[in-house]
Amino acid sequence: MKSKPIPTVVAAILVLAAVVFLYLHPRSKSGFTLTREPAYRFEPQPLQIASNARRPVVGSTVAGGLYLLTVEGSHEAGTLNLRMSHDGGEHWMTPQRLSAEGSAVNASSENAPQLISRAMYAYALWMDRSVSPTGTPISRILLARSSGMDAKVPVGIPVTDKVPTDTSYSGFPSLGLAPNGDVYATWLDGRDKGTPGTFNIYLARSTDKGLTFHTNIKVATDSCPCCRPSLAFGPNGKVYVAYRHVYGENERDIAVATSDDSGEHFSAPVRVNLDRWHILGCPESGPVMAVQNGRLLIAWYSAGGDRPGLRLAQSNDGGQSFLPPFPVDASIPGANHPYLAATDDGKAMLTFSARTPSADGSWGSFSSYVVAINANGKVTAPQAIPGTPNTDRYPTVALDSDGSAYIATASNKDDTSTAYVSRARLTQ
């Protein structure tokens, strides 16, 4: 039975109530302040890009171009495809296959492929599943580089440096580009026998734009086994890795480890906030980070403390400490799976999935929301993206230098998935 549409007036009242709640509960200690005015104006409907496509990730170029990474085909043998648009999404080139024939690309939960673009290249990172000659399952982290117009088909380069006989787990990879163009990957790794029920965090660096990777570096131990880690970068070789650490008796809180030498060595992890979320299992929700005008932004989900939801925090001392978190989701039900992007000139946007507010207490369908964060710490109230009901739980966002924003989502209807891109421009 289809749910009845929510009257516009009722939805507006619910959103207004959430905004009022935040105004009556200021979070000045967080360094963030709420603003009423939406920062972006969206088109009425998103652009439909690809059918039978899951887990889209969008990236932008300095010249107004877009990349879109999708997993297409069956769930058992999905292929990884990359599309490019030269006109902001109006038209798209023929997709380029990145994964090899006979391989399977993982696209489940937070273990889906990642995309990042800068200058003339787009980089894709994913977990490849295969089986050894003896029948043992093998998981590998692969990276491919493309300009969108390569004559040669991009080839997935192994990121991990395990010996061929090592079939230990590698998954939940995250991708990042340092200011100098070095490519970084971090992931959950099972090559070391650590605390039962956890993985270690490993990192690899490429100094030749993704053609080869240096020796893998262990960053941290005791990571939650299905929450993706995250990367961010400061000046002068500073590298941040965030992950969900398992403390004591299954307290799963966010921690950040910092390197001052381009990822060769890392500090002891710093607990971002004392959420003390005690959960006997993995929440499948990792943190996301970005650097905005020198300060480190981090967003994550937690059900610890007074209320479940998304938190936003900042560090002004290079990850040594963090200010108290700000409740960035305005108590919209079901808010989770944040994705954060920032530009060199100080713009930042957080997108996440949450349920459509309901006046009668029924559980609405999932939609995508955005929050803009300016360089002065002003945070907009969550803004629903038009035309995105019944979407999956993993929206992604890319920001252009001209102030445009692009959000990629996928619909889930009748057991099929279609990839969409929503476009918006700054209102001020």
Q: Say what the pLDDT of residue 415 is.
A: 67
Question: What are the respective helix, strand and coil percentages of the chain, to the nearest 5?
Answer: 5, 45, 50
H-helix or E-strand spanning residue 343: none
Q: Say what the pLDDT of residue 23 is.
A: 44
Q: What is the dihedral of CA 298, 203, 401, 379, to 10 degrees?
A: 0
Average pLDDT over residues 95-113: 91
The pair of three-digit structure tokens given for residue 128, joined into one six-digit string: 């490849």
H-helix or E-strand spanning residue 23: helix 8-24
Q: Say what the pLDDT of residue 11 is.
A: 45
pLDDT tens-digit readout, 297-356:
999 999 998 889 999 999 999 999 999 999 999 989 999 999 999 998 899 999 999 998
User: CATH for 8-426?
Assistant: 2.120.10.10
pLDDT at 102 over 70: yes
Please state the pTM of the whole predicted model.
0.91
Confidence of residue 12 (pLDDT cuts 50, 70, 90): very low
Mean pLDDT across the chain, nearest whole number?
89
pLDDT tens-digit readout, 117-150:
988 899 999 999 877 777 788 889 999 999 866 6
More confident: 75 or 419? 419
The pair of three-digit structure tokens given for residue 207, joined into one six-digit string: 């100094």
pLDDT tens-digit readout, 369-402:
999 999 999 999 999 999 877 788 999 999 998 8
H-helix or E-strand spanning residue 143: strand 137-146
> Domain boundaries in the chain?
8-426
Lowest mean pLDDT: which of 4-8, 198-202, 339-343? 4-8
CA angle 221, 224, 228 (to 5 degrees): 100
How many other CB atoms sit within 10 Å of the CB of residue 79?
Answer: 18
